[in-house]
Structure 1
Amino acid sequence: MTAISYGDMGASLRNMRLITQVKQDLDKYSYEVSSGQKQDLGAAVSGDFTPLASIERSLRTLESYDVAIQEANLFATSMQTTFGAISSHVADLSSTLLTSSTNGDATSISVAAQDARTRFDAVVSGLNTRIGDRSLFSGTATSKTALIPAEDMLTDLQTAVAGATTAADVEAIVDDWFMSAGGGYETLAYQGSDNALSPFSLGENESVRLGITAKDDAIRQTLKGLALASLVEEGVFASDLSEQASLMRSAGETLMGSQAGMADLQARVGTVEARIEDANLSNSSMTYAFETAKSEIISSDPYKAASLLTQTETQLELVYTLTAHMSRLSLSDYI
């Protein structure tokens, strides 16, 4: 039988093709081992990229919802923190004001009035909280600070009550300033919008609204109580302890009455926080499910890839060894 063999040129070309193929396999398995993903996605999906594209689109949508969820959570948490601080100020101060009015002495009234003035500043500052470049309690007018400074409010109130002769007169004027439509609070103090913040979209059919602004009655009532006591610190009825004591009593009663409204605001925000948390859990679960589905499509088997990489390295070493051996063959070795 006649043996058919490759000539030198044919053998060389065959070795070059073999080495090229082995190197390609080496690159492929090295990539799959290092990245954990299949190199040839086309083969992995049999040329149909529709399911993978759908998964990618869903993941991008969920990512955008996640950003909205985190923003809503930040706003809700900040609101809840502010209301908690205000409630703490109200609870601490209301009893102090009532006690000072009962004692009726200059020292008790002066200390309580100073405390009220400090807390008035703190509450106004809290209501002027900003998240990034957005005001928290200004409604849709997020670029504007919700309230003017506490000092400016008291200056206007001092002018308004300048002609009052009794604590009852002052209380009526302050009540009108804070609580009446078109009063000083609405026309001067509050700088935000009448429209609440737009809803935060948490999912395809899920959204929440944080529709609380500094115009809310519970907030205005709280500020009214703080302002009544602060006016004493600003010198109203400076020579009449009896009228000052009456103002302190009215301020304390006003603050005690505002606590229920503040508790209601906290409950409203708490309900929104719960919905945000539920949406966050749902979004995370869906993201995990889609990422798992994507991984099943594009991920390589690490053990199989590592095994094939080892085999390919061995094969490449063998090819180089045989090639080197053949290159050393010469006619003189057989003579």
Structure 2
Amino acid sequence: MTSIFFGDMAAATRNMRMTTQVKQNLDQYTYEVASGQKYDLAAAVSGDFSPLASIERSLRTLESYDLSIREAGLFATSMQSALETVSGHVEEASTDLVVAADRGDATSLSVAATDAHTRFDSVVATLNTRIGDRSLFSGAATGKTSLMSSDEMITELQTALVAAGASSVADVEAVVDDWFMSAGGGFETVGYRGSDTPLSAFSLGDQDSVQVKLTGDDDVLRKTLKGLAMASLVDEGLFSDDVTARAQVLHNSGEALMGARAGVADLQSQVGSIESRIEEAKVGNSTMTFSYETAKSEIVAADPYEAASLLQQTETQLQLIYTLTARMSQLSLADYIR
């Protein structure tokens, strides 16, 4: 039988090539185990990257929608929280004012008026809430504060009362109603500082968007502010020498706030509907993202168990090569001819 022997140079070259190949395999399997992705992606897609590129493009689009959805959710949730605060003040103040007015004593009237003034301050501050650098109730003018301060409003109302020569409860109510509710009145010209243009719509998906149109200029919010402001004027000294007139103003303020309850609840319902749409879009976007990520994984993901097994085999193979090389390097002519 004829035997084929390799010369020393040929054997060394063969060993070098084998070692290089084993090292490359080690790099490949180490990468696949560490990253969970295939080492040679071109081979995995047979040189056609178009399906993978399409999936990645869709994932980037969904990511941008997800950012917009999260922004819309934060905005709507914050607005709902603000309306809950306003609703709480309206419900409590309306009852307290009517009860105090029915009692009619100076102490009850004073306590109720002071409490209403505090709630007025709180409602104005709530409607001036900002999320980051964006005002919630300023419409498109998110960089502006929605309303002038409560103290400024009271000052404007006091000036208007003096200018109108208001001397009766009916006069006061007419002036306050005109300032808050009339077109071109004080609230529209100086009280509300936001934009008449609603906030731009939030994109929720392909051809799907949602718009939050509520601003601090809404009629329901104006009525709420009007009722609390009128009671606040009593706390500021309106009809200070006429208990009956003060009781009448507080009673009418309480009734005005009772009338605003349903309106505030309706605003909460509207914002709640927007929150539901945003949540639906969030779920849908998450589902689509999961589907595309699964499809991408099927293309680029390496089998972790197979990669780990091959890595172990390759490490063993490389260790064997190093061991044999070390033994051969220790051979001498004397060892060979023994």
Q: Same fold (TM over 0.5)?
A: yes
The answer to whether 1:207 aligns with 2:209 is: yes
- Give the alignment's TM-score, normalised by structure 1: 0.98
**Quick one: which amino acid aligns to residue 55 of structure 1?**
I
- The alignment partner of 1:213 has SS state of coil
- The alignment partner of 2:154 has SS state of helix
Tell me how far apart the structure 1 counterparts of residues 143 and 322 of structure 2 sit (CA, whole Å).
71
- The alignment partner of 2:204 has SS state of strand
- The alignment partner of 2:51 has SS state of helix
Structure 1 unaligned residues grouped into runs of 5+? none
Root mean square deviation of aligned Cα: 1.0
**Shift, 1:102, TM fit:** 1.1
**Shift, 1:27, TM fit:** 1.0
Tell me how far apart the structure 1 counterparts of residues 15 and 219 of structure 2 sit (CA, whole Å).
88
Mapping 1:25-36, distance limit 5 Å? 25-36=25-36
**Shift, 1:328, TM fit:** 3.1
Tell me how far apart the structure 2 counterparts of residues 315 and 230 of structure 1 sit (CA, whole Å).
87
- The alignment partner of 2:203 has SS state of strand
The answer to whether 1:330 aligns with 2:332 is: yes
Counterpart position of 1:137: 137
Mapping 1:1-335, distance limit 5 Å? 1-162=1-162, 163-333=165-335, 334=337
Tell me how far apart the structure 2 counterparts of residues 166 and 78 of structure 1 sit (CA, whole Å).
41
- The alignment partner of 2:280 has SS state of helix
**Quick one: which amino acid aligns to residue 236 of structure 1?**
L
**Quick one: which amino acid aligns to residue 43 of structure 1?**
A
**Quick one: which amino acid aligns to residue 65 of structure 2?**
Y
- Deviations 1:59-94 (CA, angstroms, capped at 9, x unpaired): 111111111001100110111111111110010011
**Shift, 1:330, TM fit:** 3.2
- Deviations 1:235-282 (CA, angstroms, capped at 9, x unpaired): 111111111111011101100001111011001000000000000000
Tell me how far apart the structure 2 counterparts of residues 308 and 8 of structure 1 sit (CA, whole Å).
31
Tell me how far apart the structure 1 counterparts of residues 146 and 323 of structure 2 sit (CA, whole Å).
80
**Quick one: which amino acid aligns to residue 122 of structure 1?**
S
**Shift, 1:2, TM fit:** 4.3
- Deviations 1:178-223 (CA, angstroms, capped at 9, x unpaired): 0000000000110010001010001012110100000100000000
Worse-matched range after superposition: 303-312 or 120-129 = 303-312
**Quick one: which amino acid aligns to residue 301 of structure 1?**
D
- Give the alignment's TM-score, normalised by structure 2: 0.97
Tell me how far apart the structure 2 counterparts of residues 5 and 207 of structure 1 sit (CA, whole Å).
77
**Quick one: which amino acid aligns to residue 118 of structure 1?**
T
- Deviations 1:15-41 (CA, angstroms, capped at 9, x unpaired): 100100011101111111122111111
**Quick one: which amino acid aligns to residue 227 of structure 2?**
G
Percent of aligned pairs sharing the same letter = 64
Worse-matched range after superposition: 24-33 or 269-278 = 24-33
- The alignment partner of 1:161 has SS state of helix
- The alignment partner of 1:140 has SS state of coil
Tell me how far apart the structure 2 counterparts of residues 300 and 179 of structure 1 sit (CA, whole Å).
67
Tell me how far apart the structure 1 counterparts of residues 107 and 333 of structure 2 sit (CA, whole Å).
121
Worse-matched range after superposition: 198-207 or 159-168 = 159-168
Tell me how far apart the structure 2 counterparts of residues 2 and 154 of structure 1 sit (CA, whole Å).
113
Tell me how far apart the structure 2 counterparts of residues 280 and 38 of structure 1 sit (CA, whole Å).
31
Tell me how far apart the structure 2 counterparts of residues 79 and 327 of structure 1 sit (CA, whole Å).
78
**Quick one: which amino acid aligns to residue 128 of structure 2?**
N
**Quick one: which amino acid aligns to residue 260 of structure 1?**
A
Tell me how far apart the structure 2 counterparts of residues 133 and 86 of structure 1 sit (CA, whole Å).
22
Runs of 4+ in 1 over 4 A off after TM superposition: none
Worse-matched range after superposition: 60-69 or 322-331 = 322-331
- The alignment partner of 2:47 has SS state of coil
**Quick one: which amino acid aligns to residue 258 of structure 2?**
M
Tell me how far apart the structure 1 counterparts of residues 24 and 44 of structure 2 sit (CA, whole Å).
18
Tell me how far apart the structure 1 counterparts of residues 203 and 131 of structure 2 sit (CA, whole Å).
18
Aligned residues: 335
Tell me how far apart the structure 1 counterparts of residues 333 and 252 of structure 2 sit (CA, whole Å).
119
Tell me how far apart the structure 1 counterparts of residues 51 and 130 of structure 2 sit (CA, whole Å).
43
**Quick one: which amino acid aligns to residue 186 of structure 2?**
G
**Quick one: which amino acid aligns to residue 159 of structure 2?**
T
